[in-house]
Amino acid sequence: MKWIGMIAAVFAVMAAVWMVVNKSYYPSLPIENRSAKEVIGQLNDSDQKIIEIATDEDFNWYITRSQNDGISVADETIKEMISSKGWEFTAKEGSGLFFEKEGESLLVTTQMWTKKYVLVHVPNEFRGM
């Protein structure tokens, strides 16, 4: 009986180490073909506050850190990025940040992915204008 307990403990430790190494304790991403480990590693390796992690026909996905101050730090990072392309911040409602440029409107949405990271969903109009 003692051996069974020791074997079970060894397997539990191995499973815990595997989860930490592969970052499988993070929730799944709303994008395909990217793992949490890969995305977090890309952000950690970058000197940028916000990085693009995926693109499809209509939207771009970005990730940024929320730090200890919650979503407000991420919101400021997003405002800096969008404003750098000439968009003017107009309002925030819930998880949406509204911008305007040359009569066009842009809605950027955020999603708290974990306590430390925020996912940002940006329409392609941001790049095109």
Question: Which DSSP letter does residue 27 get?
Answer: P
Mean of the per-residue pLDDT values of the chain? 84
Using only C-alpha atoms, the chain has a radius of gyration, in whole angstroms, of 19
pLDDT tens for 71-100 read: 888 999 999 999 999 999 999 999 999 999
> Which helix or strand (DSSP H or E) is residue 63 part of?
strand 59-65
Q: What is the pLDDT of residue 127?
A: 66
Alpha carbons 116 and 121: distance in angstroms, whole number: 17
